[in-house]
Chain A
Amino acid sequence: MAKGLDPNMDFPFCHDVGKYERITKIGQGTFGEVFKARCRKTDRHVALKKVIMENEKEGFPITALREIKILQLLKHDNIVDLIEICRTKPTQYNRSKGSIYLVFEFCAHDLAGLLSNATVKFTLGEIKKTMLQLLEGLFYIHRNKILHRDMKAANILITKNGVLKLADFGLARAFSYTKTGQANRYTNRVVTLWYRPPELLLGDRDYGPPIDLWGAGCIMTEMWTRSPIMQGHTEQRLTLISQLCGSIMPEVWPGVEKYELFTKMELPKGQKRRVKERLKAYVRDQYALDLIDKLLTLDPKHRIDSDDALNHDFFWTEPLPCDLTNMLSQHKTSMFEYLAPPRKPTTTAGHHHRHPNAGATKQQPTDPAYDRIF
């Protein structure tokens, strides 16, 4: 106990995390490990996320503060529910360093886990329901002036009743539209690489909600391809995007020349936009293709927003969005990316064979520059 603090101080305000019994590790979040646990009193299952404090040079991590602040603000069916915050008591056993745990409702699956399991099959109606809920969640957080900044299949949770929840707000932050033309200066080192939109790859620091909608487009495509599209290293990223979405140039993206990196980098020229053409082998619904095309728009100013996306014909034509409960009831075990075998091409041999529906295609991409799907 440090000087200045009463060694006999009580901790009556946050519950001790001992009220939960830890069952198994289910994930690794941006700032801590995640465990499945059970409330000793009520038997309710929860997810415990430990805030990592070791080697912290800024006291309680600002990312954890943001996640707590943001989750206390956001209450929505499609946002993961923060039940409470627990702690361990600082004792001589942990060198007087107590820990803080975020206690979430337990969700049975994450989307990456489901998609990597070949026995899980989504109908078109079920894909629509998934995307509908994802976009409802994005609409809600953006209306509350929050950017998620880490959209990816592993951060999309699905309860056993088929309710989708956006999770892991460890990179999220509040944003504002500046009044005086002064640009925001947010960090551009956000979003897992494969899901990172072109404006971030070009170094944009004054970005907004469209960054999350690009991620939604990647995830939507993944519903059919079953693995992340456009996997590649930093240097490859803009090349891969250009090969799918066409060359990045002022004609399709007015103002793109303002990015320093745009002039500095060697970007592929003369590439045609081939989103629909490339994806139609996997996605055989024209409305789905059209929505993906609009989500994967290069220019963030012209990328579809969540409101317009929710009004897209995709959601309003037969087959209509269909509840996931029945489909999920066939699967008794939890599926999480963390527990699934890695989804790397080298380790999961021939995913196309595992998904005859998605993989029975006439045009198999063969260009070696295309990692995986592209």
Chain B
Amino acid sequence: MAGNFWQSSHCKQWILTKEFLLRERNGDLQVMGEVDYQKLMMFFANVIQSIGEHLKLRQQVIATATVFFKRFYSKHSLRSCDPLLLAPTCIFLASKVEEYGVISNSRLISVVSAVIKNKYSYAFPSEFNYRIHHVWECEFYLLELMDCCLVIYHPYRPLVQYVNDLGLADNLLPIAWRIVNDSYRTDVNLLYPPFQIALACLHMACVVQNQEAVTYQWFADLNVEMDKIIEITNTILKLYDLWKGFDEKGEIGGLLKKMPKASLSQPRDGKGESSSGRSSASITDQ
């Protein structure tokens, strides 16, 4: 499906602003602080990556799952859904959306259990105890939250196009590609169109490979908002700084403890039953 980014729900509904993110996350940030929040998100992006790799998914599926995950917490508190349940749910949905096929129920649960046990036991000492019906239920909330906006555009495709246009694919593509992978540990894919992220990552790759002089004119000829490219670059550079000082194994236990959690209380009576909800008796399936 080719599609057009400019007419997509991704472009029209899902390019958010920093102010929006700060406002929506305010509750969580009061509990955790911005740095710890980002560390936690980095950790769960890694969890999604590991599960995806064990399921032998394409990077595009993993990237879509990661964006779904970030979209959910851009509008909901960490309290509303356990990220350990949301992570496999995002993978389950992304695999279908990206036409990678339905991951069988037993395979999903067994792979996630194995990854959590073998790779992340330092973070989750007890076993993974969600079952497939939890995933299905969570999937509904995820779809609802995204207003069923399913098609995600990634920086990978424009990136390949740009390096080919530059004629420097061999030299630049592997590094730029890795920087794009890393960019999913930040909020840039919630804040900027994918082509801008691709350009920022490409430019960073040029700096790493000492190709700035050769590519200077190519970048100068671009008709793009360079300040956006610089913002993206700064965000990714900040990520690398944070990463250097992040002792995941040592810190994650504390972070998870601090994280706001789903309350175990009973549902509040009548909450959410708006007048429109009540008048819908004719249509709700009962």
Contacts and interface: CB of A to CB of B under 8 A. Distances in A.
Nearest to B145: A13
Interface stretch (A82-90, A236-244, A250-258): A82-90
Interface string A165-199: 00000000110000000000000000000000000
Nearest to A54: B285
A332 interface: no
B2 A144 contact: yes
A70 interface: yes
Interface residues of B, number: 64
Given A8-B267, A85-B147, A17 B280 contact: yes
Interface stretch (A92-100, A123-131, A348-356): A92-100
B92 interface: yes
Contacts of A21: 282-283
B79 A5 contact: no
A4 B128 CA distance: 12
B30 interface: no
A7 B272 CA distance: 11
B286 A94 contact: yes
Contacts of B145: 13
B151 A73 contact: yes
B276 A16 contact: yes
A59 interface: yes
A68 B99 contact: no
A266 interface: no
Nearest to B140: A98
Contacts of A59: 92-93, 96, 102, 132, 135-136, 139
Interface in B109-141: 130, 132-141
Interface string B148-163: 1111000000000000
B81 interface: yes
Interface string B1-35: 11100011100000000000000000000000000
B274 interface: yes
A50 to B, nearest CB: 8
Contacts of A14: 144, 147-148
B80 A5 contact: yes
Nearest to B92: A59
Contacts of B146: 13
Given A4-B138, A70-B1, A85-B147, A20 B272 contact: no
Given A8-B267, A13-B146, A99 B276 contact: no
A11 B284 contact: no
A113 to B, nearest CB: 24
Contacts of B135: 59
A234 interface: no
A323 to B, nearest CB: 29
B257 interface: no
B271 interface: yes
B268 A8 contact: yes
B12 to A, nearest CB: 10
A65 B276 contact: no
B151 A69 contact: yes
B284 A5 contact: no
B231 interface: no
B1 A16 contact: no
A69 B97 contact: yes
B148 A85 contact: yes
Interface stretch (B220-228, B233-241, B258-266): B258-266
A37 to B, nearest CB: 8
A60 B139 contact: yes
A65 B96 contact: yes
B255 interface: no
Contacts of A367: none
A72 interface: yes
Contacts of A57: 105
Nearest to B147: A13
Contact of B280 (A2, A18, A70, A173): A18
A96 B137 CA distance: 8
B143 interface: yes
B53 interface: no
Nearest to B99: A174
A16 B277 contact: yes
A73 B262 contact: no
B85 to A, nearest CB: 4
Contacts of B102: 58-59, 62
Contacts of A261: none
B81 A5 contact: yes
Nearest to B86: A4
Question: Which 5 pairs from chain A and chain B are nearest by CB?
Answer: A18-B280, A174-B1, A4-B82, A4-B85, A7-B267
11 contacts: A3-B82, A4-B85, A4-B138, A6-B262, A8-B271, A9-B81, A22-B283, A60-B140, A65-B93, A94-B286, A174-B99
